[in-house]
Amino acid sequence: MTEPKGRSTAEDAAGLVERSAAAYASAVPVRPEDDGFFGPASVTWRVSADLSAPVAGLRSLLLQALHPLAMAGVDQHSDWRTDPVGRLAATSAYEVTVTFGDRAGARRVAQRVRAIHTHVRGVDTVTGQPYAADDPALLLWVHAALVDSGLAASALFGTPLTDADADAYVAEMTVAAELLGVPPEMIPDSVTALKRYIAGVRPELRRTPAAAESMGYLLDPPGLDEDIAELWQDIRDAAVTALPDWARQMYGYPEPPPLTAERRTEIRQALGVLDAVFLGEPGVLEARQRLTVRTRSAGKV
């Protein structure tokens, strides 16, 4: 969804793949009324379906968590400790619905999130500042981290976008922020504007204890199936590699080794194996086929 997740003494992450897959399978619409806010010919669909998408998702959570007020909202209000896997699955279901659902469906889930956000208020214990989840400034940060991560992950580990497509992606995605109540004039609509915005927010960012704790959990989730855990190491390293240097330094993660062609292949292979496992979960193949049929009938193969 739109908030970073945090966790510490949280439940373990068993069933991560199964629950995410179930969320995905049910969120891809069976009989959409229209092509939604993006559509089969959009760059957004391509980025969302890219092999690198799990890296983008993890990187965006890492980035989102560096905003102390966004992090505080999640830390104090979400159910991540008792149900971390369910929390992540709900987040991915939201993103899938907004991306691939019809307009009514996307509006419906966005309304639901906005209703929840009105209750998410409090004071961040680290900065002492009050926060509100419906504050456009926080929503925009969460949005920008997501879009920036889609660009970074596909450039490093997926199918890189042309400059024009990258701009198109940022522009297309503005509607996702609007759906959650960010005034359109605030939302970056080009890669340059996005980078400028992120640079402007940087002074507010820091690694709070909640961020360190929850992201530590996410990078090394306890209770993963042994075989998935093996793959997760690659996804995690890829996400950390794809972070901006300053973000990595805030977390205190070591400088990653240079990304050689071999290492990139290895990470892509891990993503491929993960995808095959994902595809084997009930309903995922059918959901993919629904999207393939729509993409092809839109004239894009």
Partner 1 sequence: MKSERNARLRSRTRKITALAALGGASIAGLAVLRRRAGSLRVERGLAALRLAARGGARYASHAPQLFASAGEHREALRNDLALQTAEDVATTLGTMKGVLMKLGQMASYVDDGLSPAARRTLSRLQDSVPPMSPELAAQVITEELGRPPERAFATWDPEPIAAASIGQVHRAITHDGRAVAVKVQYPGIAETIEADLGNVALLRRMLKITAPSQDVDALLAELSERVTEELDYRREARNQQMFARYYEGHPTIGIPGIVAELSTRRVVTSDLADGARFAELASWSQAERDLAAETIYRFVFRSLYEAHAFNGDPHPGNYLFHGGGRVTFLDFGLVKYFTAAELRPLVEMVKHLCVENDPEAFRRAMEDAGFLMPDAPLPTDMIVEHMAVFYDTVRERGPRTMTGAYASAVTRRFFDFRSPLAAYVQIPRSYVILQRINLGLFALLGELSATADWRCIAEEIWPFVQGPACTPIGAAEVAWSSGRAVRRR
- What residues between 142 and 161 interact with partner 1 by CB under 8 A? none
Instruction: Among 83, 189, 204, 281, indicate the residue that binds partner 1 (CB under 8 A).
Output: 281
- Pair 147, 170: CB distance under 8 Å: yes
- What residues between 35 and 64 interact with partner 1 by CB under 8 A? 51
Nearer to partner 1, 189 or 275 (CB): 275
Is residue 297 within the footprint of partner 1 (CB under 8 A)? yes
- What residues between 248 and 277 interact with partner 1 by CB under 8 A? 262-263, 265-266, 268-273, 275-277
- What residues between 231 and 250 interact with partner 1 by CB under 8 A? 231, 234
Give least dist CB 43 to partner 1, A: 17
- Pair 99, 44: CB distance under 8 Å: yes
Give least dist CB 266 to partner 1, A: 4
DSSP of 208-252 = -HHHHHHHHHHHS-TT--HHHHHHHHHHHHHHHHHS-HHHHHHHT
**Structure tokens, 35:** 């092509």
- Pair 253, 259: CB distance under 8 Å: no
Question: How many of the chain's residues bind partner 1 (CB under 8 A)?
Answer: 31
Cα–Cα distance for residue pair 76/6, rounded to 1 Å: 9
- Pair 19, 221: CB distance under 8 Å: no
Binding site for partner 1 (CB under 8 A): 51, 226-227, 230-231, 234, 262-263, 265-266, 268-273, 275-277, 279-282, 285-286, 289, 292-293, 296-297, 301
